[in-house]
Amino acid sequence: MSNRTGALGRYLPWLDWGRQYHREWFANDMIAAVIVTLMLIPQSLAYAMLANLPPQIGLYASILPLVAYALFGTSRTLAVGPVAVASLMSAAAAGHVAMPGTPAFYEASILLAFLGGAMLVVLSLIRAGAIGNLLSHPVVSGFIIASAVLIAAGQIKYLFGVSAKGDTLVAIIASLSGALAATHTITLLIGAACLIFLLAVRKYGKAALSAAGLSPRAADIAVKAGPVLTVIVSTLVVSLFNLQTQGVKVVGHIPASLPSLTLPSLNLAQVKSLLLPAFLIALIGFVESVSVGHTLGAKRRQRIDPNQELMGLGAANIASALSGGYSVTGGFARSVVNFDAGAETPLAGVFTAVGILIVTVAFTPYLANLPQATLAATIIVAVLSLVRFDILREVWNYSKADFAAVAATIIVVLTAGVELGVLAGVILSILLLLAKISKPHIAVTGRVPGTDHYRNILRHNVIQSDSVLSLRVDESLYFPNARYLEDALLALVTERPGVQHVVLQASAINDIDSSALESLESIETSFKDMGVTLHLSEVKGPVMDKLRNTHFLTHLRGQVFLSHDQAMKALDPAIAADAASQP
Amino acid sequence: MSNRTGALGRYLPWLDWGRQYHREWFANDMIAAVIVTLMLIPQSLAYAMLANLPPQIGLYASILPLVAYALFGTSRTLAVGPVAVASLMSAAAAGHVAMPGTPAFYEASILLAFLGGAMLVVLSLIRAGAIGNLLSHPVVSGFIIASAVLIAAGQIKYLFGVSAKGDTLVAIIASLSGALAATHTITLLIGAACLIFLLAVRKYGKAALSAAGLSPRAADIAVKAGPVLTVIVSTLVVSLFNLQTQGVKVVGHIPASLPSLTLPSLNLAQVKSLLLPAFLIALIGFVESVSVGHTLGAKRRQRIDPNQELMGLGAANIASALSGGYSVTGGFARSVVNFDAGAETPLAGVFTAVGILIVTVAFTPYLANLPQATLAATIIVAVLSLVRFDILREVWNYSKADFAAVAATIIVVLTAGVELGVLAGVILSILLLLAKISKPHIAVTGRVPGTDHYRNILRHNVIQSDSVLSLRVDESLYFPNARYLEDALLALVTERPGVQHVVLQASAINDIDSSALESLESIETSFKDMGVTLHLSEVKGPVMDKLRNTHFLTHLRGQVFLSHDQAMKALDPAIAADAASQP
């Protein structure tokens, strides 16, 4: 992305692409917008249902937020709107403060979007795009997998036309198992038909359409219209046979009016209790959006600025709240469709907004007989693609510690709910990182005969010195490992009464924080009491710059050697003699 | 410390030193015990007052806990008992659930010790000695400085004989400023006299006693008896002139009985609300104890095992709770005196316990007229030595980020109390560490002419390649920097349209976690879309072991080179030609 508009273009990215805008882009953006609109209609209705909100709220969340993101977001192709995981989280959080279906619940959902948006804007202003780094990839993966399972389980009641509830997998299953006896057969038939059709389209649709003469890309995009087809057909079927009067639950009357712009009611007690969930919804949404934005941007050598993305998503959520919508973020599937359909700029999003606007004012009366079972089938098929066990297997193979964090996240999400699940995952991944850092690899090294290299005595056949202990620390020195370093060095020296010098090879030490500096001082003091001198070798430039003028370095009795070999030869005549005897 | 007793000696350290015990050690331990007992009498009374508890509770906390630590602790010279900071924290925590002076408050204080002790024992059993690493040194320093200020401020009311209260510095000052009009003159005279005497002893005592003929070491130890002298003299003065009837507040009747052994009452609601403060008191106490133990142990080449220290301190706190005492830990000043006085083994602690026991049953009646102002003066002088601004200056000079964590800790302790202060410090130091790790130094490097070394193009005059981007990352790759790496690499390549290959020199990468692996995969995919090939060089053995068999390495289109120079020469003919043209 060129940067002709300078600093301002950084904050208002449309200044950049806006002046280059031309006719071909317009055509491409329009085509993409039509396709995304078709995809978004059933999704916005379905995710509103998932968020325990009336269907029009999903439509409201798909108009202004898209315009706001187009103004401030940096991704050219990210498709913002209601998504499954944020809808589930919103339902759970609002459910803590009000009963679903009440005005208070709706207000809480709006407030969640507003608070989340405001926090994202503040984070953007303080350039805290790095906040997304609090979440490790495996934890996010685990969270999404578990959320998808929860979401799918929660939709089963609509497929069977029964009543059930629960925020955890156990509660949902328990509630369902009691309710399934009252299964409504016609509803189940509609739901099962939709589900089978959608799964079939997903699996065979592309091949079938290609065989029918469509280009692979067109076929790929066309299958995304599957949900729209189920919406139309099932609504028609219900209307024709008046099935809504026979107990098939439908979405009912959707007001064909535009959202009215209002400020959310800022009740302080409610703000306080929604602050943490709002933050978690916003954080998860941000991490997912940036990840999608990156993936798509890279395909066209376009860059995403995480700090500016905070602003784009923050503005989108505030716009959603002000226009009666709920939490939004960049959706993965929808963005890929937008990209594949040829969207060139965020104007495609604006056109999509216009599309949803038209649907809202003109087509909602026709959706009154849309069965809830159809939407449930849409949701289930959409989230099933999020359940990727291959990610779990990969993490398991690569790192058992990381897998523990994922497993904990999944278990907590399924048994205690989404919020505690994210928190558990975040805390556990930080603790595991601290644990990893806290036990750095410290190798006792020896001289590889005939070279000036020093290697781990446990792995190589090397020459060791009796009086000089040669060590290498393979980690930066930070507070989590400061005391470990102290313990380890004192233990190594205590075990070797003959040692008079210790040389610490610092080539892998990229930073030393204040705690570690204090530990080095304390090691130096302890060594002094033990009659041992501490030396350093191969200290990196930036680390040396920091150490200069510190109490530690001015009081260090030993030397700082440029190379480890030089240190060993200077301190142990035997090593020097051995080195000299070699060619 | 020899390890003749093997595994059992690890869990019962006295098996080790017990079998070597001999007569000389006995004499030394006895002398140290007498001196520490003299120091501990005023301290145990004063710290109990600080913890808002009756004076005998301080004595109870100085008997059985010392015996328990002697059985399980690994430090030979750590002197366990009530300390200032833990007393302040205990008062604050118990104050949340009950009014000082009530039986409920006393019970809560005992419960805090019990819960803290139990947690330490559990942590010891799961070998979680690394838990102390959650606290960075500067945060601990800042916490102790701020606590000392809070403690000193809180004692001023006793010096002036007025009533005041408050958990924060602002509250204490506000309360005091209203109360000082009612200053009790005789109390202030006694308090000021004690304070001046103690400060003078601290400053000139050693020199004076040395001049009077004492050896420096004896003089050093003798000045520690200053507080005992103020206790005796001020109690005599009050008794002689019957000042307690004229409004001088005294400690009053201390029951001359031994503590009765009882189980703390485990009310579930109270346990729940005291769990976090109990953990924080135990954690701070553990960190301080281990630090003191290390410092003293190193002077005699004796080792401290943090895992076993958890057991020692845990047992001490449980013993304290069972015998009616409150939270204890290893005190810095007291341990140094114990060490300097020649203590050889923890038996010195057992002898000290016997000393306090004798005081409790035989001498407490004489302490009824001990003025509270004397104890306040003792506390103030003791904690003033903890206020070390030099530490703050050092941290400021060394690292502004670390200083921010210290400053936040101090401000939160002073304005919002000790518990929030520790939490703020812990959270902030972890966030700062994540922030540090999250922006690793990534250098674009070039070839130093005439060598096979590659250095930062910003710092050195080097040869760069147009088509091959040479990079070095100076940090292990963990989830906090995974996305940054992705952003940085994509940005570097996007800025350089001519680049066809990227070589990442991995010599400073000690570990790669699952998140970073996923980022590497995503970089590889993005590079593929951009027509750029990613290569690695100088990957460490353990990292390579982990990467083997991963999706990333099997799908990597580039190569893994043993040396960076080899990579550059293989990928850019210009570099190879330049290298060949050199001697």
Residue-wise DSSP of A74-111 = --SS--EE--HHHHHHHHHHHHHHS-TTSHHHHHHHHH
Q: Do B519 and A137 touch (CB under 8 A)?
A: yes
Percent of chain A with pLDDT over 70: 98
Nearest-angstrom CA–CA distance, B89 and B84: 9
Nearest-angstrom CA–CA distance, A15 and B307: 60
Residue B511 φ/ψ region, left for φ over 0, alpha for ψ in the -120 to 50 degree band, beta for the rest? beta
Considering chain B, what is the average pLDDT of its residues?
Answer: 88
Closest CA to B536 of B513, B564, B510: B564
Q: Is B494 in CB contact (< 8 Å) with chain A?
A: yes
- Interface test with chain B among A75, A143, A400, A513, by most B beta carbons within 10 Å: A513
Q: Do A482 and B398 touch (CB under 8 A)?
A: no
Averaged pLDDT in 10-residue chunks for chain A of 583 residues: 56 78 87 89 91 94 96 91 93 92 94 96 89 82 90 92 86 89 93 94 88 84 84 94 91 85 83 91 91 79 84 96 95 86 90 94 90 92 86 88 89 88 85 84 88 84 92 89 87 90 91 90 88 92 88 92 91 87 68
**Residue A552 CA: distances (Å) to CA of A115, A410, A544, A545, B138:** 47, 46, 12, 13, 15
The tokens for A276 are 């943490």
Q: Do A130 and B478 touch (CB under 8 A)?
A: no
The tokens for B293 are 């133990």
Residues A150, A172 contacting (CB under 8 angstroms): yes
pLDDT at residue B6, rounded to an integer: 59
Nearest-angstrom CA–CA distance, A572 and A501: 9
pLDDT at residue A7, rounded to an integer: 66
**CB contacts < 8 Å between A and B, how many?**
195
pLDDT band at B42 (very low <50, low <70, confident <90, very high): confident
Q: Is A392 in CB contact (< 8 Å) with chain B?
A: no
Q: Do B294 and A484 touch (CB under 8 A)?
A: no
Mean pLDDT of B14-26: 81
Residues B564, B444 contacting (CB under 8 angstroms): no
Nearest-angstrom CA–CA distance, B573 and B583: 18
pLDDT band at B4 (very low <50, low <70, confident <90, very high): very low
Nearest-angstrom CA–CA distance, B524 and B537: 15
Q: Do A133 and B551 touch (CB under 8 A)?
A: no
Chain B residue with minimum CA distance to A480: B133
Distance from CA of A2 to the nearest CA of B (A): 10
In the 8-state DSSP scheme, what is residue B250? B
Residues B510, B540 contacting (CB under 8 angstroms): yes
Query: Which residue from B402, B481, B507 is facing A513, i.e. has the nearest CB?
Result: B402
Residues A323, A4 contacting (CB under 8 angstroms): no
Residues 6+ apart with CB under 8 A from B180: B160, B162
Q: Is A563 in CB contact (< 8 Å) with chain B?
A: no
Q: Is the pLDDT of residue B14 over 80?
A: no
Residues A17, A345 contacting (CB under 8 angstroms): yes
Q: Do A490 and B303 touch (CB under 8 A)?
A: yes
**Residue A38 CA: distances (Å) to CA of A202, A230, A356, B29:** 16, 12, 9, 86
Q: Is B433 in CB contact (< 8 Å) with chain A?
A: yes
Q: What is the torsion angle, in degrees rounded to the nearest 10, for the CA atoms of residue B259, residue B262, residue B265 and residue B271?
A: 80
Q: Do B402 and A549 touch (CB under 8 A)?
A: no
Strands of B357-484, DSSP E = 442-447, 454-456, 468-473
pLDDT at residue B3, rounded to an integer: 44
Contacts of A132 in chain B (CB under 8 A): 483
Task: Identify the helix (H) or strand (E) that includes residue B502.
Answer: strand B501-505
Q: Is B562 in CB contact (< 8 Å) with chain A?
A: no
The tokens for A509 are 């030490």
Neighbour-count burial of A577, counting CB atoms closer than 10 A to its CB (0-12 exposed, 13-18 middle, 19+ buried): exposed
- Interface test with chain A among B514, B526, B539, B562, by most A beta carbons within 10 Å: B514
User: What's the pTM value of the predicted model, to 2 decimals?
Assistant: 0.75
Nearest-angstrom CA–CA distance, A297 and B299: 60
Q: Is B563 in CB contact (< 8 Å) with chain A?
A: no
Query: Which residue from A394, A507, A522 is facing B295, i.e. has the nearest CB?
Result: A522
Q: Is B518 in CB contact (< 8 Å) with chain A?
A: yes
Task: Identify the helix (H) or strand (E) that includes residue A454.
Answer: strand A454-456
Q: Which of B165-169, B263-267, B366-370, B379-383 has the lowest mean pLDDT?
A: B263-267
Q: Do B514 and A439 touch (CB under 8 A)?
A: no
Half-sphere exposure of A95 (CA within 13 A, CB side): 16
Query: Which residue from A133, A459, A487 is facing B480, i.e. has the nearest CB?
Result: A133
Q: Is A517 in CB contact (< 8 Å) with chain B?
A: yes
Q: Which residue has the tokens 């399972």?
A: A149
Q: Is the pLDDT of residue B1 over 50?
A: no
Instruction: For residue range A181-206, list pLDDT tens digits in order.
Output: 889 999 999 999 999 999 999 889 88
